[in-house]
């Protein structure tokens, strides 16, 4: 257990123990004494029978009938989703950052983030219709450690994932195994603004053409560190210079506009891997590529 770096406002709250030796008993929080990784803040609680105990936040709930609605609305935020979709959502964001802010609204879970060097940007809306259960009282924002959640999800049977969000903790449960994750301070993660960009070249690819594009990137990675993409005569072409082995791959013949730009192969491959995961999880069959000279490439599906 670690020392407590900040207070969470639980002192004086009436709570109910929901598991452990004193399950079902109620009492008042005397003080916050520390926190335990994965379970949240630890509190000293004086039970109504006079006994003093210590429990992490994962073991108790604020009594709803004793608190105002705005203090308990968090407890109504519960969701159920196919775990592979949540992994795809978090893994895509994790391509750029280890921690992120997520806005949860009636439309879904939305994350906008940029990498520390401000080279790449991801905007991902996990729509509410992708969830099997979606219960939310009002819009909320949370900040989470992506890597910790992914490490947990990849170790459990995540076919059906149950999620509950309280003021301090995000809890995920699947097949009888649950874990709570302490929420990060959302104020430390400023809103990410998506810049307006005027792309001059666009190609909409079928599943077969998307696979061909990804294979071309893998071939390019074996011969060079940089690759060029252009649209010429309505063809999307991936190519390298003659000095690097002269790769040329015509991906599709229905591209729009014109343009040519170069990118690091490892950067595009990392994006491609995340997009492949998203396409498999959500059974998407098409991919759109947009680019322009000296602009970051945009790949969406």
**What's the confidence (pLDDT) of residue 120?**
66
**pTM of the prediction?**
0.65
Could you tell me what percentage of the chain is helix, strand and coil, using 3-state DSSP and rounding each to the nearest 5? Answer: 25, 40, 35
Task: List, in order of start, the domains of the chain with CATH numbers.
Answer: 14-67 (2.30.30.30), 76-188 (3.70.10.10), 201-300 (3.10.150.10)
Dihedral angle over CA of 163, 164, 165, 169, nearest 10: -90
CA distance 14 to 65: 10
Nearest to 240 by CA among 267, 214, 222, 259: 222
Tell me: the pLDDT tens digits for 189-223?
Answer: 888 777 777 889 999 988 889 889 999 999 999 98
* CA separation, residue 262 to residues 22, 46, 57 (Å): 63, 64, 50
**What's the confidence (pLDDT) of residue 166?**
87
Tell me: the pLDDT tens digits for 234-283?
Answer: 999 999 876 656 889 999 888 999 889 888 898 888 888 888 888 888 87
**What's the confidence (pLDDT) of residue 198?**
84
Tell me: the pLDDT tens digits for 26-81?
Answer: 988 898 888 766 667 888 999 888 889 998 888 888 876 544 434 434 446 899 99
DSSP string, 43-73: EEEEETTS-EEEEEGGGEEE-GGGS-HHHHG
Across all residues in the chain, what is the average pLDDT? 84
DSSP summary character for residue 118: S
């Amino acid at each position: 257990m670690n020392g407590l770096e900040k207070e969470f406002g639980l002192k004086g709250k009436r709570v109910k123990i929901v598991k452990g030796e004193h399950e079902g008993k109620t009492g008042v929080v005397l003080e916050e004494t520390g926190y335990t990784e994965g379970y949240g803040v630890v509190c000293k609680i004086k039970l109504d029978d006079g006994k003093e105990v210590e429990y992490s936040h994962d073991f108790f709930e604020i009594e709803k009938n004793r608190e105002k609605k705005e203090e308990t609305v968090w407890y109504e935020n519960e969701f159920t989703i196919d775990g592979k979709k949540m992994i795809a959502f978090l893994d895509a964001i994790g391509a750029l950052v280890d921690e992120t802010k997520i806005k949860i609204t009636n439309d879904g879970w939305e994350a906008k983030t940029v990498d520390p060097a401000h080279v790449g940007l991801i905007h991902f809306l996990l729509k509410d219709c992708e969830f099997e259960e979606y219960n939310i009282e009002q819009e909320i924002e949370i900040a989470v450690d992506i890597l910790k959640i992914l490490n947990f999800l990849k170790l459990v049977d995540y076919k059906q994932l149950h999620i509950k969000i309280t003021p301090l903790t995000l809890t995920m449960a699947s097949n009888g195994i649950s874990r709570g994750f302490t929420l990060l301070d959302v104020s430390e993660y400023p809103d990410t603004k998506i810049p307006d960009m005027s792309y001059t070249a666009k190609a909409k690819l079928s599943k077969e053409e998307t696979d061909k594009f990804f294979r071309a990137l893998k071939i390019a990675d074996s011969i060079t560190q940089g690759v060029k993409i252009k649209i010429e005569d309505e063809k999307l072409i991936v190519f390298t210079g003659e000095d690097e082995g002269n790769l040329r791959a015509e991906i599709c013949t229905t591209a729009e506009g014109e343009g040519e730009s170069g990118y690091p192969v490892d950067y595009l491959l990392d994006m491609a891997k995340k997009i492949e995961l998203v396409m498999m999880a959500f059974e998407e069959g098409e991919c759109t590529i947009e680019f322009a000279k000296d602009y970051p490439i945009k790949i969406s599906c």
